[in-house]
Amino acid sequence: MIRPVLRMGDPRLLRVAEPVARVPDAELGELITDMLDTMRALDGAGLAAPQIGVGLRVVVFEVGHNPRYLQVEPVPLTILVNPEITPIGDDLVEDWEGCLSVPGLRGLVPRHDRIHYTGLAPDGSRIERSVAGFHARVVQHECDHLDGVLYPRRISDLTRFGFEAEIARLRQTP
Which residues are known catalytic residues? 142
Task: Identify the three-state secondary structure at position 106.
Answer: strand
Residue 5 binds to Ni ion (criterion: CB under 5 A): no
Whole-angstrom distance, CA of residue 129 vs CA of residue 74: 15
Q: Is 45 in the site for Ni ion (CB under 5 A)?
A: no
Contact assessment for residue 120 and residue 82, using Cβ atoms and an 8 Å cutoff? yes
Separation CA 82–CA 124 (nearest Å): 11
Which part of the chain contacts Ni ion (CB under 5 A), choosing from 71-79, 81-89, 98-106, 107-115?
Answer: 98-106
Q: Is 49 in the site for Ni ion (CB under 5 A)?
A: no
Element (H or E) spanning 40, and its range? helix 26-41
Using the rule CB under 5 A, is 23 a contact of Ni ion? Answer: no
Q: Which stretch binds Ni ion (CB under 5 A): 8-16, 94-102, 105-113, 123-131?
A: 94-102
Euclidean distance between the first and the last CA atom of the chain, given in angstroms as a whole number: 42
Taking the complex as a whole, how short is the minimal distance between the CB of residue 16 and Ni ion, in angstroms?
16
Stretch that binds Ni ion, among 32-40, 55-63, 81-89, 91-99 (CB under 5 A): 91-99
Residue from the set 39, 56, 63, 99 that interacts with Ni ion by CB under 5 A: 99
130, β-bridge pairs: 116
Question: Which positions touch Ni ion (CB under 5 A)?
Answer: 99
